[in-house]
Structure 1
Amino acid sequence: MNIIWARWVVAFALLAIASVGIGAVAGVKAAMAFALIALVAQGLFSTYHTERLWRLLDAPVYGQVPSAPGVWGEIYYRLHKLAKRWHAQVRQVEQQHSRFIQAIQASPNGVAMLDDHDQIEWCNAIAEEHFGLDAKRDLRQHITHLVRHPAFVRYLNSHQYDEMLIMRGMGEKRQNVLSVQVFPYGENRKLVLSADITELERTDSMRRDFVANVSHELKTPLTVLSGFLETMRELPLGETERARYLDLMEQQASRMRNIVDDLLVLAKLEGDATPPSDQPIDMHAVLRQLRDDATTLSGGHHQITFDLDEGLTVTGVKTEIVSALGNLVTNAIHYTPEGGSITVQWRQFAGAAVFAVTDTGFGIPATDIPRLTERFYRVDRSRSRDTGGTGLGLAIVKHVLQRHDAVLEVKSEEGRGSTFTVRFAVQRTARHQAVHA
Structure 2
Amino acid sequence: MSSQLIRALLLALLSMVIALPVGHFIAHWAGWLVFCGGLGLQMAFHFRNFARLDRWSYQPIVDAGLEGEGAWDGIFGRLYRHEKELRSQIAERDDQIVRLFAALQALTDGVVALDFNQQIVYCNTTAEEQLGLALSTDVGQPIVNLVRQPEFVAYLTGGDFERPLTLRSDRGSDRVLSIHIVPYAGNRRLMQIKDVTQTDRLDQMRRDFVANVSHELRTPLTVLAGFLETLQEIDLDKADQQRYLDLMAEQSKRMESIVQDLLTLSSIESAPPPCTDVVDMSNLIDKLRRDGEALSGGRHRILAENDGMCDLRGSEPELVSAFGNLVANAVRYTPAGGTVRIEWKRTPQGAEFAVEDTGIGIDAKHIPRLTERFYRVDRGRSRDAGGTGLGLAIVKHSLNRHQAQLEIKSAPGVGSRFAARFPGSRVASL
Q: Shared topology, TM-score over 0.5?
A: yes
Instruction: Indicate the SS of the match to 2:335.
Output: coil
Shift of 1:132: 1.7
Shift of 1:218: 0.6
Change in Cα spacing, 1:66 to 1:245, as seen in structure 2 (3 Å) is same
Query: 1:304 is matched with which residue?
Result: 302
| Pairs within 5 Å for 1:155-166 | 155-166=155-166
| Pairs within 5 Å for 1:196-215 | 196-215=195-214
Shift of 1:155: 2.3
Query: 1:146 is matched with which residue?
Result: 146
CA distance in 1, matches of 2:38, 2:266: 100
Change in Cα spacing, 1:280 to 1:80, as seen in structure 2 (3 Å) is farther
Greater Cα shift, 157-166 or 48-57: 157-166
Query: 2:122 is matched with which residue?
Result: 122
Change in Cα spacing, 1:38 to 1:290, as seen in structure 2 (3 Å) is farther
TM-score (norm 2): 0.89
Shift of 1:330: 0.9
Query: 2:361 is matched with which residue?
Result: 363
Letter in 2 for 1:232: L
Deviations 1:153-185 (A, max 9, x none): 222222233333232233x32432222233222
Change in Cα spacing, 1:18 to 1:160, as seen in structure 2 (3 Å) is closer
Instruction: Indicate the SS of the match to 2:364.
Output: coil
Letter in 1 for 2:395: V
CA distance in 2, matches of 1:33, 1:276: 109
Query: 2:281 is matched with which residue?
Result: 283
Letter in 1 for 2:382: S
Change in Cα spacing, 1:200 to 1:351, as seen in structure 2 (3 Å) is closer
Letter in 1 for 2:398: V
Instruction: Indicate the SS of the match to 1:288.
Output: helix
Query: 1:223 is matched with which residue?
Result: 222
Instruction: Indicate the SS of the match to 2:311.
Output: strand
CA contact (8 A) 2:66 2:80 kept: no
Letter in 2 for 1:340: G
Instruction: Indicate the SS of the match to 1:338.
Output: coil
| Pairs within 5 Å for 1:305-320 | 305-320=303-318
Shift of 1:262: 1.2
Query: 1:435 is matched with which residue?
Result: none
1:100 and 2:100 correspond: yes
CA contact (8 A) 1:411 1:418 kept: yes
CA distance in 1, matches of 2:264, 2:143: 50
CA distance in 2, matches of 1:52, 1:279: 87
Letter in 1 for 2:131: F
Greater Cα shift, 214-223 or 420-429: 420-429
Change in Cα spacing, 1:285 to 1:220, as seen in structure 2 (3 Å) is same
Shift of 1:346: 0.2
Query: 1:254 is matched with which residue?
Result: 253
Greater Cα shift, 278-287 or 255-264: 278-287
CA distance in 2, matches of 1:197, 1:79: 56
CA distance in 2, matches of 1:28, 1:217: 131
CA distance in 1, matches of 2:333, 2:418: 13
Q: Where do 5+ consecutive residues of structure 1 fail to align? A: 433-437
CA distance in 1, matches of 2:284, 2:10: 109
CA distance in 1, matches of 2:65, 2:247: 101
Greater Cα shift, 278-287 or 148-157: 278-287
Q: How much is the aligned-residue C-alpha RMSD, in angstroms?
A: 3.0
Change in Cα spacing, 1:309 to 1:35, as seen in structure 2 (3 Å) is farther
Shift of 1:383: 1.1
Shift of 1:303: 0.9
CA contact (8 A) 2:111 2:192 kept: yes
| Pairs within 5 Å for 1:7-156 | 39-63=39-63, 66-156=66-156
Shift of 1:394: 0.6
CA distance in 1, matches of 2:315, 2:63: 70
CA distance in 2, matches of 1:321, 1:38: 108
Greater Cα shift, 194-203 or 402-411: 194-203
Shift of 1:22: 12
Greater Cα shift, 57-66 or 295-304: 57-66
Letter in 2 for 1:347: K
Shift of 1:359: 0.8
Change in Cα spacing, 1:28 to 1:106, as seen in structure 2 (3 Å) is farther
CA contact (8 A) 1:351 1:429 kept: no
Query: 1:178 is matched with which residue?
Result: 177
Shift of 1:149: 1.4
Change in Cα spacing, 1:321 to 1:38, as seen in structure 2 (3 Å) is farther
Letter in 2 for 1:173: G
CA distance in 1, matches of 2:363, 2:414: 11
Shift of 1:12: 7.7
TM-score (norm 1): 0.87
Shift of 1:37: 5.1
Query: 1:419 is matched with which residue?
Result: 417
Letter in 2 for 1:392: L
Letter in 2 for 1:331: N
